[in-house]
């Protein structure tokens, strides 16, 4: 996160001429996240006590007091603004239900009290949403995994989290809620089942941290109508030649089928054994069907055996 220098000077310089106190702070304070402030002094002062804190609705938040040895030794101070700091005991009042956009940083030291408003963000941490695949058909299950991390890339285990399944018409059709402490190493797992007659198009998986946080992440998935995949069929014989010898009694035939994306087809295969007489190949009267066979196709193909014998002699 970028750092902006917020110099808080004394309002009255005549009391301690040439001495100043300052605070360097992030330009945005993130809710529920530890932020680092750099507190120091300028001038000839030594061993000065400086107190820094945030202020909201006259409440002091994350107050810290430190002693600055001299101008060459500024001190880092860790501060944190939580949802309880901002909203505890005041949610019932409509006036304060809206999230504040700024919070006041206060520096109190030997040179007086100075203040500065800093932007307040309710987006803190990171969410990564993963699905088991990008494309689904109606009535299929959708498996979701969410990784939640804080600003330091450490797993978030103590927050509420919700995972939603949202249709192309922006309708939430499923939700899984997780209470604090229900994650494993920051991972949250959810499962949804698509409707049997869904809207086709781009659906959305949305994960959001609970409470006052605005941190969320989405992952799109495609839902399409089921269409039988295209596949090709390959037929090979065990004979080395492209013809049948007169003394040949049988022929081994292997039938295999593969989808266009490489997976082997498994199902029922039928094999017609045809012999064509001499003449025009387009004449159906010259094609004789010797028989038909059906069997199950396995992943490594299916073998058929064609018995030739007297059938070839009868049509010679």
Dihedral pair phi/psi, residue 86, rounded to 5°: -90, -35
* pLDDT tens digits along 227-286: 776 888 888 887 666 666 777 777 788 888 888 777 888 777 777 777 666 655 555 555
* Average pLDDT rounded to a whole number, residues 202-225: 93
* Average pLDDT rounded to a whole number, residues 29-55: 90
Tokens of 250: 């049988």
- What's the number of domains the chain is made of? 3
**CATH number, domain at 159?**
2.60.40.1930
Regarding beta strands 102-109 and 48-56, do their DSSP bridges make them parallel or antiparallel, or are they unpaired?
Answer: antiparallel
Are 97 and 161 within one domain?
no
Are 235 and 215 within one domain?
no
- Beta-carbon neighbour count of residue 281 at 10 Å? 9
The last residue of one of the domains, among 198, 223, 248, is 223
Are 113 and 135 within one domain?
no
Residue 195 is predicted with a pLDDT of 94
Domain span holding position 273? 231-315
The answer to which of 6-20, 49-63, 67-81 has the lowest mean pLDDT is: 6-20
pLDDT band at 224 (very low <50, low <70, confident <90, very high): very high
Are 271 and 303 within one domain?
yes
Q: What predicted TM-score, i.e. pTM, was given to this entire model? A: 0.60
The last residue of one of the domains, among 121, 149, 170, is 121
Average pLDDT of every residue of the chain: 81
Question: Which has the higher per-residue pLDDT, 207 or 14?
Answer: 207
Are 60 and 135 within one domain?
no
pLDDT band at 38 (very low <50, low <70, confident <90, very high): very high
Are 114 and 183 within one domain?
no
Are 243 and 212 within one domain?
no
Residue 191 is predicted with a pLDDT of 96
Cα separation values, 297 from 101, 238, 255, 303, Å: 66, 18, 8, 9
Are 131 and 179 within one domain?
yes
Where is mean pLDDT largest: 7-21, 22-36, 237-251, 259-273? Answer: 22-36
* pLDDT tens digits along 148-195: 998 888 898 888 999 999 999 999 999 999 998 887 788 999 999 999
Are 9 and 116 within one domain?
yes
Cα separation values, 141 from 128, 176, 197, 201, 223, Å: 20, 14, 14, 16, 11
Tokens of 104: 């006041």
Residue 13 confidence (pLDDT) above 50:
no
Q: How many angstroms separate the first and last alpha carbons of the chain?
A: 88
Dihedral pair phi/psi, residue 171, rounded to 5°: -105, 130
* pLDDT tens digits along 92-130: 555 556 788 999 999 998 888 888 999 999 988 899 999
Residue 285 is predicted with a pLDDT of 58
Are 141 and 215 within one domain?
yes
* Average pLDDT rounded to a whole number, residues 294-310: 68
Are 187 and 207 within one domain?
yes
- Coil, strand or helix: which one is 284? helix
Are 214 and 311 within one domain?
no
Residue 42 is predicted with a pLDDT of 85
Query: For residues 66 and 257, what is the distance between their CA atoms, to the nearest angstrom?
Result: 76
pLDDT band at 10 (very low <50, low <70, confident <90, very high): very low
The last residue of one of the domains, among 121, 152, 187, is 121
């Amino acid at each position: 996160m970028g750092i902006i220098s917020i110099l808080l000077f004394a309002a009255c310089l005549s009391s301690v001429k040439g001495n100043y106190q300052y605070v360097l702070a992030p330009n945005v304070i993130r809710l529920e996240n530890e932020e680092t402030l750099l507190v120091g002094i300028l001038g000839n002062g030594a061993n000065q006590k400086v107190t820094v804190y945030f202020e909201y609705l006259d409440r002091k938040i994350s107050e810290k007091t430190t002693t600055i040895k001299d101008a060459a030794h500024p001190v880092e101070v860790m501060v944190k603004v939580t949802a309880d700091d901002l909203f505890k005991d005041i949610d019932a009042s409509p006036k304060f239900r809206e999230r504040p956009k700024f919070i006041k940083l206060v520096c109190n030291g030997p040179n007086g009290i100075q203040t500065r408003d800093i932007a307040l963000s309710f987006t803190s941490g990171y969410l990564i949403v993963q699905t088991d695949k990008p494309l689904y058909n109606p009535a299929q299950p959708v498996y979701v995994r969410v990784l939640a991390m804080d600003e330091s890339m450490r797993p978030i285990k103590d927050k509420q989290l919700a995972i939603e399944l949202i249709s192309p018409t922006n309708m939430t059709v499923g939700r899984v809620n997780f209470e604090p402490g229900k994650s494993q190493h920051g991972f949250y797992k959810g499962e949804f089942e698509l409707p049997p007659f869904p809207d086709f198009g781009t659906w959305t998986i949305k994960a959001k941290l609970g409470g006052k946080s605005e941190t969320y992440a989405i992952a799109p998935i495609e839902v399409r109508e089921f269409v039988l995949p295209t596949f090709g069929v390959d037929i090979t014989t065990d004979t080395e030649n492209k013809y049948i010898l007169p003394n040949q009694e049988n022929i081994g035939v292997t039938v295999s089928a593969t989808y266009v994306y490489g997976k082997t087809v498994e199902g029922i295969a039928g094999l017609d054994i045809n012999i064509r007489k001499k003449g025009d190949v387009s004449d159906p009267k010259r094609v004789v069907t010797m028989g038909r066979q059906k069997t199950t196709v396995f992943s490594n193909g299916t073998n058929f055996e064609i018995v030739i014998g007297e059938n070839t002699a009868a049509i010679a």
